[in-house]
């Protein structure tokens, strides 16, 4: 089974278009695995998929994009559905990073980091991860440094995505350094 393809399909279903699979995400983005399997089984390429395959898909992925708990599954970050997924605030590292193309930097330094199409701004816990994220759009991304410690002191909320990814509602430009 092509686990990478399965992961992409699940990201699409659980981050962007659950209604196409007749799924409804709860407040925290969870769906019941049996319901997800019913939807997947309608497609010929996924008609054999089991919960064990979903487990294996999560294990095999180099990025932790999904999690399973008590018979439910959810995407950990990346959502664009109209109903904002609720995340519990958590304490981020003092410095976070964000990789972006040079062409976006002037606008970011003016307006701050905005979630754009997604529900949250995505930040990286280390420079390597930020580079990887930025390279999706540009070979030579700019790595912006976010003063998360100061932002927390000032009352901004951060949320945990996975071990490398932190989320925020908006990062004002005063916390961003080039």
Residue selected from 6, 113, 148, 151 as contacting ligand HQG according to rule CB under 6 A: 113
Cβ atoms of 125 and 96 within 8 Å: the answer is: yes
Tell me: does residue 114 bind ligand HQG (CB under 6 A): yes
Phi, psi of 84 (to 5 degrees): -65, 130
CB of 44 to ligand HQG, least distance (A): 25
**H or E element in which residue 104 lies:** helix 102-111
Cα–Cα–Cα angle for 121, 127, 131, nearest 5°?
Answer: 75
CB of 151 to ligand HQG, least distance (A): 15
Residue selected from 65, 66, 74, 79 as contacting ligand HQG according to rule CB under 6 A: 65
Decide whether 8 or 44 has the Cβ nearer to ligand HQG: 8
CB of 11 to ligand HQG, least distance (A): 6
Residues in CB range of 119: below 8 A, 6 or more apart: 79, 80, 81, 84, 85
Tell me: does residue 150 bind ligand HQG (CB under 6 A): no
For strand 72-75 and strand 121-124, is the pairing parallel, antiparallel, or unpaired? unpaired
Cβ atoms of 119 and 79 within 8 Å: the answer is: yes
Total binding residues for ligand HQG by CB under 6 A?
Answer: 17
Residue selected from 63, 64, 72, 145 as contacting ligand HQG according to rule CB under 6 A: 63
Which residues sit at the interface with ligand HQG, rule CB under 6 A? 63, 65, 78, 100, 104, 107-108, 111, 113-114, 116-118, 122, 133, 137, 165
């Amino acid at each position: 089974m092509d686990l990478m393809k399965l992961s992409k399909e699940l990201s699409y279903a659980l981050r962007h278009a659950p209604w196409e699979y007749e799924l409804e995400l709860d407040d925290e983005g969870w769906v019941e695995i049996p319901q997800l399997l019913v939807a997947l089984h309608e497609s010929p390429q996924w008609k054999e998929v089991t919960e064990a395959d979903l487990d294996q898909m999560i294990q095999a992925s180099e990025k932790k994009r999904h999690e399973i708990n008590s018979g439910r599954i959810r995407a950990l970050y990346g959502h664009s559905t109209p109903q904002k997924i609720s995340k519990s605030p958590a304490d981020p590292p003092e410095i976070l990073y964000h990789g972006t193309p040079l062409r976006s930097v002037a606008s970011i330094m003016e307006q701050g980091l905005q979630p754009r199409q997604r529900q949250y701004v995505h930040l990286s816990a280390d420079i390597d991860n930020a580079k990887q994220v930025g390279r999706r759009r540009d070979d030579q991304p700019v790595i912006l440094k976010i003063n998360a410690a100061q932002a927390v002191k000032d009352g901004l909320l951060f949320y945990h995505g996975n071990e490398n990814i932190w989320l925020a509602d908006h990062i004002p430009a005063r916390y961003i350094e080039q």
